[in-house]
Structure 1
Amino acid sequence: MSALAGRIRLMIGRGIVNLVNDAAKLQALQVELLSDEVQDGVERFQDYGITSHPHPGAEAVVVCAGGLRSHAIAIRVDDRNYRLTGLQQGEVALYDDLGNVVKLGRERLEIIGVTEVKAIAPKIIVESDDVSIGAEGGKPVARVDDLVDLSTGKIISGSEKVTAA
């Protein structure tokens, strides 16, 4: 096989992530490509605004510029052990290995935190005609300026769409 044909054949490969250096400006991986071929310092390109730190054993698609194995870059990394499944066509999600999920679903936006969800901002606005706190089907909760009969605790006027379980 000619040298050129060999370089073309080795331009794109599949590998297994062994180590991750997340301290660098561009994440660097140690990737095992062919049997007994380990590449250190493989730069990982990620989409702007989205980043992750893969576990060892994740799979990578590696491109070697000009077919030179000494200049490998990872263009995709995925981990079949944690990939979120069951999305409907057109849905999008962010997820991690613990089960935390931000899902842009067909019916609703879902944020699932396995321990807690924390929102930090100078101002948070919730605009909705129907708010359930804790779970659906709870008791009505009075809002500021709702009239409440203090002897019975019944909301006299205002929204009955804010509930708490």
Structure 2
Amino acid sequence: MRVPDLIRRLASAGRLLRVDDSPQVQVVQVELLAGEVRNLQRLQDYGITSVPLPGAEGVAVSLNGQRGRTVMLKVDDRRYRPVDLEPGDTCLYTHEGTVVHLQKGQRVLVEGATQVTVKSAGIVLDGPVQCTQTLNVAGLITGQAGLTITGAAQINGATLSEAGNLTTAAGTSVDGHLHNESGGGTTSAPI
């Protein structure tokens, strides 16, 4: 085979038809030039893996120009790729619109997710934490330097008002509610 023919056969554009993610190296069925359908290994970057959808586009490379030694190197999907990122930004995305966007200014945006789950033996948040919606905690909240609550709070059915009045779940207000130290019941607060 002539050298120009080998060079011409080194790389091909391809359209994904199917993906098999069960092997250690992913196998993709690709339609290459002139309707040539091939099953190829898809080589991915270390630490990042994905399962592209049928219709995604990619580049197949034939090692030494030999069509029998063709692998899929890069796959992209123009239908779902986020656009108009800032120079230097990096983005992970899915076809459903879930995005992890590493943004300029050292910011990270997670967008479009219905739930974010972090599984770890321990999680450290080293910096101020702001919650703009409801915070549900199934375990204990402890603080080394105390706990500051701005606004009203509900604790085991009791309500602590913004003014500092505690009302029990049974409706008893402890504002001005005093106990007789000698065991004789309650007394009224002085007026």
Q: Which is strand-richer, 1 or 2?
A: 1
Paired position in structure 2 for 1:21: 20
2:35 is aligned with what amino acid?
D
Aligned position for 2:147: 146
CA-to-partner distance for each residue in 1:62-89, whole Å, 9 max, x for gaps? 1001111111111100010111112100
The aligned counterpart of 2:54 is: 56
Residue 127 (structure 1) aligns with: 126
Aligned-partner residue type, residue 162 of structure 2: G
Task: Find the counterpart in structure 2 of residue 8 from structure 1.
Answer: 7
Equivalent in 81, 94, 106 of residue 92 of structure 2: 94
Q: Distance in 1 between matches of 2:23 and 2:82?
A: 28
Aligned partners of 1:98, 1:111: CA distance in 2, in Å? 13
TM-superposed CA distance for 1:123, in Å, is 1.3
Q: Structure 1's 17 and 147: CA in aligned 2 closer, same or farther, altered over 3 A?
A: closer
- How high is the sequence identity, in percent, across the aligned residues? 33
User: Could you list the runs of 5+ residues in structure 2 that have no partner in the other structure?
Assistant: 135-140, 153-158, 165-191
Q: Please report how far the alpha carbon of residue 20 of structure 1 lies from its aligned counterpart in structure 2 after TM superposition.
A: 0.8
Structure 1 counterpart of 2:92, which letter?
Answer: L
Misfit runs of 4+, over 2 Å: 2-5, 127-130, 146-155
Q: Per-residue CA shift, 1:70-125, capped at 9, x if unaligned?
A: 11111100010111112100011111111111111114211224211111111112
Corresponding letter in the other structure for 1:79: D
Contact 1:26–1:43 (CA under 8 A) maintained in structure 2 = yes
- Counterpart mapping for 1:150-161 below 5 A: 152-154=161-163
Q: Which letter maps to 1:54?
A: P
Q: 1:154 to 1:100 in 2, by over 3 A?
A: farther
Shift of 1:51: 0.3
Is the CA contact 1:98–1:114 (under 8 Å) kept in the aligned structure 2? Answer: no
Question: Could you say what secondary structure the match of 2:16 adopts?
Answer: strand
Q: Tell me, yes or no, if the aligned pair for 1:21 and 1:28 is still in contact at 8 Å.
A: yes
Change (3 A) 1:44 1:147: closer
Which is higher, the Rg of structure 1 or of structure 2?
Answer: 2
Aligned-pair CA distance for 1:53: 0.2
Higher relative contact order (CA 8 A, sep 6+): 1
Q: How many residues align?
A: 147
Distance in 2 (alpha carbons) for counterparts of 1:38 and 1:57: 14
CA gap 1:154/1:73 in 2 versus in 1, 3 angstroms: farther
**CA drift at 1:147:** 5.4
Name the TM-score, length of structure 1 as normaliser: 0.79
Q: C-alpha displacement at 1:15, in angstroms? A: 0.6
Task: Give the Cα separation in 1 of the matches to 2:42 and 2:62.
Answer: 12
> What secondary structure does 1:89 align onto?
coil
Task: Letter of the 2:43 partner, please give it.
Answer: F
